[in-house]
Structure 1
């Protein structure tokens, strides 16, 4: 895991080093810079290394392979040993034991189709000196970030936006991006907070012709959202196949030349990863969980029980609001863009203390998206029934609910008031009350809607696909990458193995979700390793108790940050509406913590990162 950087702009060596220094937390072990002062176009490559595989200096980057191939690479290719063996049989030679050389050799052998051979989480760029081009790619599910700036013949890329932002005076803050953030709580790919900087989309590769300045991106992988591939076996056979895939996904992610541990929340996904990892490890696996003072959010006791059963070496990290405030103040430094997922804070705490024991940690991310685990998927069972009513009756029920005194009833009414069930689900993912901010400049071409608005699958499979392409990519993967890399920790997610994602798409819905039993097949695999009774409880989310904190411990902080002067610094919001919502939260009549947190994050970003940039 590392941070990469490159440019065709003639930055000096010191300037490149400053850009790398800005995100040195991504790779504190070694900074590498190489300048190619070619006759027609300068090339700069930079790398911050977090040493995971082949700790020797021979694997430092930028790395050169066969003289004319130069690479900077962030991430891991988990099947690199298999690819390396195939390429060695074709005559390729290797001087290191790392996966970086394997990418280069695969590029020479397979060309730009090399990405189809990689099973991993990655963002890399190859400078092909012979063809005078830059070729790069981002992994299928968007686990590793990739930002780029393209202005005619100038091209610049980095793992994080702040490296491009430094020394670039041509940037303007995007009004559309702010509107998108106020709507979604994150900034959707391929956009960024700056008009001139974009994100390479997940599952895409690109080529940049250095001479002409021509940039082309290409989608090399996608979900089977048309439902063309169907699993032909029975439920037991599906269980066996899933366990085999999961076991291999865990096994190949346990390989490292540094200590490896597991994030264990005590839930289904992380417990299954921990169980399979324990089978693969001769000694005791190290596991880590977070403990909250607020019992409503604390699953640490459940994690302890699972750890005890699996006989892992378990550590519990305690989280309180004082340390939470410190991380809130530093959030924009590590995330670079406005990002409001409140679980970023406990994720940072977990990463911070886990890094004291290991350099790599496995997580259970993507279990909910793949196997229909979120509460909102269960809610859709009831919403689906509402859409079987005649439209006039449904609209009448919706209106009655919006007039009810309780905010949860009002929310349901606003959801089923939408024209279609697809619109209803989309409403649950975005802020229903858009009266408090300006959407007039929001003109995003949102291609992700194509995974939801079609009739190839039932509503449950459509929302699962949609969440993988949006929530998992834009939110979960962003949160995990920035939170872990802030403390130089590499996080690997076995359930984000594209083979498991593809396999889950082939399964009938009833294998995953039946009669209120969500993640059915995943649970049945888990129960082979951990007793079922340990999980006989409601699902709990991994987040902060901000609802309570904003009314108590953090009340003064909220009211001082979002007073009249503070709200005046936040563009495109209706200050009167916002003040009403803050009052509603404080008097307990409505849970508005999500909007309060969203505004706090945006205000902080504008204060710390937005100075000197105009908004257009």
Structure 2
């Protein structure tokens, strides 16, 4: 796990060093860079190393293989030993025990198709001296970030936007992507908050020609959203196969030359990872969870129950008000562009204290998307029935419901006006009513809609696929990467193993969601190791008590930061309407904390990054 950087722009050594120092938290063990190619037209490769596998300096990067293959790589290839074995039989030689060297050899053997061999999370770029090309790729699910700048004359890439920002005078802030952020809470791929900086999309690779500056991007992996490979066995067969997949996914992610632990919230996903970890290692597993003092936000008792049953070495981290505030003040330094998932704050606290004992932590991310686990899926089950009622009758009911003072009823009233369940689900992910958002930009116009608006699968499978391609990628993976790398901690997600993702999509819906039982098959795998009664409680998210804080401890902070005069400086919003919505939150008539948090983050980012840039 590291930070990568590269450029064909002629920066000085001091400038390159500054760019790498900006993200030294991603890899504090070694900062290094090289000027490759000709002196007249050099290609710069830089790297911040967090040593995980083969701690010897021989595996430092930029790494060279056979003198004509140079690489910078961020992530892990979990099956590198298997690939290495095949390459040894083909005559390749290796001088390290790292996965970095295996990527180079695999590229030389298989060409661009090497990415299909890799099971892991990765973002890498290879400089092929013979072909005079850069070849780079991002993992299937977008766990590792990859940003790039290409103006048809130069190419610059990095793990974080801030590296490209430094000394680059050709950037402007995107007004459309401020709008996208305010709707989605993150800037959707392949865009960024800057017009000129893009993200390489998950499951894609690129080739950049160093001679003519041409950039070609291709997709190498996608989920089966056509439903063309249905599972043929029975439920018990599927459960047995899933158990084996998870067990292997956990096992290969436990391999490291540094201490490894597990994030354990006490929920199904992290608990199944912890349970299978205890089955695959003889060492006592270290587990970590967060505790909040506010009522309704403390799940540490549940994580402790699971930990006690599995006999792990469990650690509960208490999240206090002061530390939360400190992280809010420095939030944009690590997240680089506006990002509004408030669970990033407890994620950072969890990472901060976990890093004191381990360098790698396994998480349960990815389970909800693959096994229909989010509470909103259950809500959509009810909504699907409602949308079978003729639109004219729904509009009449909506007008009556709007008369109530209850804000939850008002939201439902607004939702009834949508044409179908697909449309309301899409709207629910951004906010049912965005009347406060002032923009001509259509924030619902993006390619990923194809995973939702088709007839190949039922509604629950479609929204599950859609969430994996959007919410998991744009939000969850961004949150986890930045939160953990802020403290030089590597996070690994066994349930995002592409074999599990593909297998889950082949299963009948009732294997995953039957009656009110969500994640049915994943739970049944878990119940073979941990008693069922521990999990017989409502599902809870990993959230901060911002609703309460914004009305109490942080009330003056919010009213000062988002005063009427300050709101006028924030693009794409109606200041008068937003001011009214903030007052609704303060008087308790409507929970507006998600909007307040979005605006606080955007204001902080603009204050830190907006000077000197045009917004267009």
Q: TM-score range by the shorter chain?
A: over 0.9
Aligned partners of 1:68, 1:398: CA distance in 2, in Å?
67
Q: Given the superposition, is the C-alpha separation of residues 224 and 267 from structure 1 closer, same or farther in structure 2, using an over 3 Å criterion?
A: same
Tell me, yes or no, if the aligned pair for 1:77 and 1:120 is still in contact at 8 Å.
Answer: yes
Q: Measure the CA separation in 1 of the matches of 2:196 and 2:286.
A: 43
Matched, 1:492 2:492: yes
Shift of residue 66, structure 1, vs aligned partner:
0.5
Alpha-carbon separation, structure 1, partners of 2:403 and 2:326: 40
Q: Is the 8 A contact 2:387 2:419 kept in 1?
A: no
Instruction: Deviation per CA, 1:386-430: give whole Å up to 9, x if none.
Output: 111122222222333333221111112222211121101001101
TM-score by length of 2: 0.99
Question: Is 2:457 the counterpart of 1:462?
Answer: no
1:33-112 counterparts in 2 under 5 A? Answer: 33-38=33-38, 41-112=41-112
1:23 has 2:23 as partner: yes
1:561 is aligned to 2:561? yes
Cα distance between partner residues in 2 of 1:404 and 1:424: 21
Instruction: Indicate if the aligned counterparts of 2:37 and 2:129 stay in contact, CA closer than 8 A.
Output: no
| Partner residue in 2 for 1:395 | 395
| Aligned ranges 1:239-388 → 2 under 5 Å | 239-388=239-388
SS at match of 1:434: coil
Aligned residue runs from structure 1 range 179-258, under 5 A: 179-258=179-258
- Report the Cα offset of residue 126 of structure 1: 0.1
CA drift of 1:438 comes to: 1.5
Is the partner of 1:297 in helix, strand or coil?
Answer: coil
Structure 1 residues 16-51: Cα deviation after superposition (integer angstroms, max 9, x where no partner): 110000000000000111012516622000000000
The DSSP-based 3-state class of the residue aligned with 2:409 is: helix
> Within the alignment, does 1:511 sit opposite 2:511 as a pair?
yes
Task: Report SS of the residue matched to 1:295.
Answer: coil
Residue of structure 2 equivalent to 1:527: 527
Change (3 A) 1:320 1:562: same
Query: Structure 1-normalised TM-score?
Result: 0.99
Give the C-alpha shift of residue 297 in structure 1: 1.2
2-structure distance, mates of 1:496, 1:404: 43
Unaligned runs of 5+ in 1: none
The number of residues matched between the two structures is 616
Distance 1:451-1:86 versus aligned 2 partners, 3 A rule: same
**What is the CA deviation profile of residues 159-196 of structure 1, one whole-angstrom value per residue up to 9, with x for unaligned ones?**
00000000001100001110000111100000000000
Deviation of 1:310 after TM superposition, in Å, equals 0.5
State whether residues 266 and 300 of structure 1, in contact with CA within 8 Å, keep that contact through their aligned partners in structure 2: yes
The answer (yes or no) to whether the contact 1:41–1:211 under 8 Å persists in 2 is: no
Report deviation, 1:246. Answer: 0.3
Q: In structure 2, how many angstroms separate the alpha carbons of the residues matched to 1:187 and 1:375?
A: 24
In angstroms, what is the RMSD of aligned CA positions? 1.0
Task: Give unmatched runs, 5+ long, in structure 2.
Answer: none
- Describe the superposition over 1:58-85 as per-residue Cα deviations: whole angstroms up to 9, x where unpaired: 0000000011000000000000000000
Greater shift, 394-403 or 4-13, is seen at: 394-403
Asked whether the equivalents of residues 391 and 417 of structure 2 are also in contact (C-alpha less than 8 Å), the reply is no
- Alpha-carbon distance in structure 1 between the residues aligned to 2:444 and 2:273: 37
Find out whether 1:405 has 2:405 as its counterpart: yes
Moved more, 571-580 or 20-29: 571-580
- Provide the secondary structure at the position in 2 that maps to 1:100: helix
SS across alignment from 1:308: helix
- Tell me, yes or no, if the aligned pair for 2:180 and 2:443 is still in contact at 8 Å: no
Equivalent position of 2:538 in the other structure: 538
Secondary structure of the residue that 1:135 maps to in structure 2?
A: strand
> Paired residue for 2:436?
436
For residues 94 and 473 of structure 1, the distance between their equivalents in structure 2, rounded to whole angstroms, comes to: 34
Contact residue 147 and residue 159 of structure 1 kept, 8 A: yes
Q: 2:61 is paired with a residue of what secondary structure?
A: coil
8 Å CA contact retained: 1:40, 1:211: no
Residue 574 of structure 1 is matched in structure 2 by: 574
SS at match of 2:288: strand
Name the CA shift for 1:345/1:518 in 2 (closer, same or farther; >3 Å): same
Are the counterparts in 2 of residues 268 and 535 from structure 1 also a CA contact under 8 Å? yes
- Contact 1:41–1:210, Cα closer than 8 Å, also in 2: no
Measure, in 2, the Cα distance between the counterparts of 1:202 and 1:586: 40
Match in the other structure for 2:550 = 550
- 1:134–1:209 contact (8 Å) kept in structure 2: yes
Secondary structure of 1:180's partner?
Answer: helix
Task: Tell me if structure 2 keeps the 8 A contact 1:297–1:544.
Answer: yes
State the distance in 2 between where 1:58 and 1:36 align: 19
SS at match of 1:435: coil
CA distance in 2, matches of 1:392, 1:433: 20
Query: 1:543: Cα distance to partner?
Result: 0.7
Corresponding residue for 1:607? 607
Q: Is residue 126 of structure 2 the alignment partner of residue 126 of structure 1?
A: yes
SS in 2 for 1:405: coil
Q: Which moved more, 1:399-408 or 1:42-51?
A: 399-408
List, as ranges, runs of 4+ consecutive aligned residues in structure 1 with deviation greater than 6 Å.
Answer: none
More displaced 10-residue stretch of structure 1: 413-422 or 292-301: 413-422
Worse overlay, 571-580 or 125-134: 571-580
Q: Deviations over 1:136-181 (max 9, x none)?
A: 0000000000000001120000000000000001100001110000
In structure 1, the partner of 2:170 is: 170
